Structure formats: structure tokens, C-alpha cells
Amino acid sequence: MFKNLGYTFEPTYKEKLWMYDPRTEVGKKRMKKQKELLERFLPIKSGKALDIGCGMGISTFALENLGFEVIGIDVQGELVEKARGIAKELGFKAEFRVMDAKKLDFPDESFDLVALLGNPLPHLSVYDFDEIVQEVFRVLKPNGAIFVDYADWVRLLHDGYKHVLVEDPFISFHVSLNTMKGQVERFFINLEKGYFFRVKINVWAPWIVEFILRKAGFEVETHYLGTFSVVGVGRKSSGV
Amino acid sequence: MFKNLGYTFEPTYKEKLWMYDPRTEVGKKRMKKQKELLERFLPIKSGKALDIGCGMGISTFALENLGFEVIGIDVQGELVEKARGIAKELGFKAEFRVMDAKKLDFPDESFDLVALLGNPLPHLSVYDFDEIVQEVFRVLKPNGAIFVDYADWVRLLHDGYKHVLVEDPFISFHVSLNTMKGQVERFFINLEKGYFFRVKINVWAPWIVEFILRKAGFEVETHYLGTFSVVGVGRKSSGV
């Protein structure tokens, strides 16, 4: 009866494209939220920005709306294609490229801002994020900033995110915690569309994010929003 | 009625010295347990060993019993004094020094083994442990090993270590979790001796320990024992 989409993020985002499309109601809401976060916590107001994990452009267009000249990158080629089409359709100037954030194809000191928006950390292990952060440090100009929004998963575990959550039209269940890998496994059912899948979520918390940013050379400020939403801002000091 | 010992580890270990004394029943049990762990997981069977956080010598003597030539270090001068006296009393050859593990006063490649035994990680932030691990890597010979036993605190939080625990003669309560600092605060009452104190415990889990060890250059193996006890072993490969 229900379609099994499997175990990873990859097969599932295709079924949830409306969430990542800047033209849908959900997409517009996400863009508005991201723009508000950036306005509230960004230490930089203009210049060249790199949007890592741009998807279909929600975060990229939020940055462009704020006045940045933006390049969006993503490893998913088909999302980058879609983002290009949507940019043309909506009149955005942002440029999009397929690129692995662990090997940024840009010279040193190319950007004023690098953003990872929309909580991409569940997709990244500490090793992945560490490599990305080192690359980001390299491509940032002196006084440049990295901006990350993410969920505090250690807090969520502590507060009891082991129970069934009803988030219409989804129901989700905690399956397991693997502290060797730093991952939570969770089971989602979409009752309206009739599919289910398992997701492995990398567990993050502010002290771990801060450690990796500081280790790469950033000065860090963390802003805690409500119960588990966090914004981390790292500055590449001009003295480096 | 109950004596308040305050907030940190420092004022409390003095009231719990019997736990760290190799001559008491509790101390003998701890030494036996540590020796068993070392025998089971140590990749090295002899040579020069450094025991970081030696306290009153339990772990140092466990290492000497296994055949190592051991130097024990601790930042607590009075514990080091006691360890020296106990070594003389019990006929151990181990040497003891007051030293900060973040600045090891030994040349490069001095040791075959460096051990952190008896779960010292709750005392250490990720920054402290990271500095120590880099120093340990430096003072280890090629093929040398670091050995750490610790508790998986993310697992404990997940499994509900928020409740009251009765561990005669102690009762302990969860007070709070601070994910900005990576610390749990816990309240202990000793009903027999009539004192209470608060402890801030740094939260650790295998994937974070492994990340820090690998980042310093170690090849890592983690052994999970039962529900939350972990042994981490790092090798300094001879190719480095």
C-alpha cells in the first residue's frame, strides 16, 4: 500500500521537491524564514556570497534579495538545473554550479560570505563538515564570515525526541541511536502521498559545531533560537 | 545538616579519596577492572608508558603490573605526593610527576603507550582533550598507542539518565544539559557521609572521541562494552 522509498536522503528529496521549490507556498515560507535569520545575525551586508547546498535556490535567492552577488552550489546536478530555470523564471541573477563543497573550485579569498542554510548538517558527518569548513576558511576573504543554521540534535535526544511525532502529513518515529557513527535513525510515513522511508540523521550540537569552526581558525558566535534551532556565525579575522 | 561541597570536581575528590586509593577495597576493584580492560584491548604489551591523570596511582600500578615501565602524571600535586608514598609502601617502581597533560614535559617519541584510564573525559572539554591528544601524538614512538576508557554520555542522555539514580550511598539527579558547552550538570548526595555537591560533566560519545583522535593523526579502534562503557585505542602508524 505505502511505497518504500528506502534508507537515505537521496531517494526521498525527489518526492518532496515542493519543499525545496522557491515557487511553492512551503518554499516561500522557507525563503522568508532564511532571509529573517540572515538579516538578524549576518555580520556582513553585501559582497560576494557562496551558497553551499543551494538545492533549488531558496537560500540563494534569499541571499540575493539581501543584496549579495551569489553563486549557489550543490552536489545534486538535477537540483542545480532546476535552480537555473527558476532563477530565469523569477528574474534572479545568481549563478549555479554542480560542486562538492569539500573541494571548492574557487581561488583563496574569493568570498565575503559562505552560507549553509536550511539545516544541512544532518546530511554531514563531522569529517565531512570539517573538510567543508577548512575549504570555506580558505575561500573566504579576511573578515569574511561563514553562516550555518542547524538543529541541536543532542538537545532533541535529551528532550525526548524518541517519541512518535505527528507533523501533518508526516508521522515519524525514532528507530535507533548510533553513537559510534553519531547518527539517529528515524522512520517517516507520508499519510497523504502514501510513502515511507528511513533517514539517518547526523547528530549535531553547538559545542561540536563551534569546536570544528574554531579548529579551522574561525572566531565563533552561536545564537540559540527557541528550543533547538541554532545559528552559528564564524568570522575569519583579518589578522590571519 | 548536609555539608555543601560546591560545584566542581576539585572540592569533591578530597571527600572521596577512598575511591582513588589503591589500598582500599574500592581502589583494588578499580585497579583490577582497569588491568582487565588493558589486557583485553592493549595492542602493546611492554615498554615505556605514560599514565595521564594518575591520581593516587591505581591506573599507574595496573600498568606496572602488566609489565610497563610507567610514569604517572597528574595536575593535583597532593595526589601525586600520595601516589609516591603508596608506591613506596606497596613496592612499585613507577615514577610520579605533577604535570599538565596539555604541555607534556617530555621529548618527542618518548613512550610506547599513553593511557587515560578511569574515565577522565568528563573533566575535559573538547578543547582540552584535543590539546592533550596532540601532545600525546607527539610524545609517542611510531607504532605507539593511546588508550582511553570513557563513558558514552550521549547514549546515557538518550537512554534516560535524567532520572534519579540510587547508587548507595549516593543519590544523584539530573539538573540540566548545556549543549553550548557540551556539559551535563548533576547533583549528588552522599547519605551516609552527609554531604552534597554539583558536578559539571563534559558530554562525550565515541564519534566525537574518534574524530579528535583521527584529526591528530591516530588510527582508531573503538570497543563498546555493554550499555555505555567505551574503550578507544589510537595507533600512531609507523608511516607517520
pLDDT average, residue stretch B174-192: 92
Q: Which residue out of A177, A179, A185 would a mutagenesis test of the B interface target, given it has the greatest number of B Cβ atoms within 10 Å?
A: A179
More confident residue, A155 or A15: A155
Spatial CA neighbour of A155 closest among B59, B129, B184, B163: B184
pLDDT, tens digit (0-9, with 9 covering 90-100), for A71-101: 999 999 999 999 999 999 999 999 999 999 9
CA distance A15 to chain B (A): 31
Q: B162 pLDDT band (50/70/90 cuts)? A: low
State whether residue A69 sits within 8 Å of chain B by CB. no
pLDDT, tens digit (0-9, with 9 covering 90-100), for A116-156: 999 999 999 999 999 999 999 999 999 999 999 999 999 99
pLDDT average, residue stretch B96-109: 98
Q: A20 pLDDT band (50/70/90 cuts)? A: confident
State whether residue B220 sits within 8 Å of chain A by CB. no
Q: Residue B20: its pLDDT value, please?
A: 87
Give the range with max mean pLDDT: A18-32, A146-160, B94-108, B163-177: B94-108
Question: Which 3-state string (H, E, C) describes chain B?
Answer: CCEECCCCCHHHHHHHHHHHCCCCHHHHHHHHHHHHHHHHHCCCCCEEEEEECCCCCHHHHHHHHCCEEEEEEECCHHHHHHHHHHHHHHCCCCEEEECCCCCCCCCCCCEEEEEECCCCHHHCCHHHHHHHHHHHHHHEEEEEEEEEEEECHHHHHHCCCCCCEEECCEEEEEEEEECCCCEEEEEEEECCCCEEEEEEEECCCHHHHHHHHHHHCCEEEEEEECCCEEEEEEECCCCC
State whether residue A209 sits within 8 Å of chain B by CB. no
- Closest Cβ opposite residue B205 in set A130, A162, A182: A182
Q: B105 pLDDT band (50/70/90 cuts)? A: very high
Q: Residue A12: its pLDDT value, please?
A: 64
More confident residue, B34 or B190: B34
Q: Which residue of B has its CA nearest to A223?
A: B180
Kindly list the structural domains of chain B, giving each domain's residue range(s) and its CATH number in brackets, ordered by start. Answer: 7-151+204-235 (3.40.50.150)
Chain A residue numbers with beta carbons less than 8 Å from the beta carbon of B177 are 154-155, 158
pLDDT average, residue stretch B84-106: 98
Chain B residue numbers with beta carbons less than 8 Å from the beta carbon of A162 are 158
Q: Can you tell me the ipTM of this complex? A: 0.91
How much is the mean pLDDT over chain B?
92
State whether residue A211 sits within 8 Å of chain B by CB. yes
Q: Do B182 and A208 touch (CB under 8 A)?
A: yes
Q: B97 pLDDT band (50/70/90 cuts)? A: very high
Question: Helix H segments across chain A?
Answer: 10-13, 17-20, 25-41, 58-65, 77-90, 126-139, 153-158, 206-216
pLDDT(B15) > 90: no
Q: Residue B134: its pLDDT value, please?
A: 98
pLDDT, tens digit (0-9, with 9 covering 90-100), for A186-220: 888 988 888 888 889 999 999 999 999 999 999 99
CA distance B17 to chain A (A): 32
Q: Do B205 and A158 touch (CB under 8 A)?
A: no
CA distance B152 to chain A (A): 8
- Closest Cβ opposite residue A177 in set B155, B211, B224: B155
Q: Do A179 and B126 touch (CB under 8 A)?
A: no
State whether residue B162 sits within 8 Å of chain A by CB. yes
Chain A residue numbers with beta carbons less than 8 Å from the beta carbon of B162 are 158
Q: Residue A233: its pLDDT value, please?
A: 98
Q: Residue B190: its pLDDT value, please?
A: 86
pLDDT average, residue stretch A19-26: 91
Q: Which residue of A has its CA nearest to B151?
A: A179
Chain A residue numbers with beta carbons less than 8 Å from the beta carbon of B122 are none
Q: Which residue of B has its CA nearest to A230?
A: B180
Q: Per the structure block, which three cell numbers stand in for A79?
A: 537540483
More confident residue, B187 or B100: B100
Cα dihedral sign, A177-A180-A182-A188: negative
Q: Which residue of A has its CA nearest to B209?
A: A180
Q: Residue B239: its pLDDT value, please?
A: 66
More confident residue, A26 or B94: B94
Question: Which 3-state string (H, E, C) describes B67-119?
Answer: CEEEEEEECCHHHHHHHHHHHHHHCCCCEEEECCCCCCCCCCCCEEEEEECCC
CA distance B66 to chain A (A): 29
pLDDT(B136) > 60: yes
Count of CB contacts below 8 A, A vs B?
68
pLDDT(B24) > 70: yes
Q: Residue B167: its pLDDT value, please?
A: 77
Q: Do A162 and B157 touch (CB under 8 A)?
A: no
Q: Residue A131: its pLDDT value, please?
A: 98
Q: Residue A162: its pLDDT value, please?
A: 66
Q: Do A158 and B155 touch (CB under 8 A)?
A: no
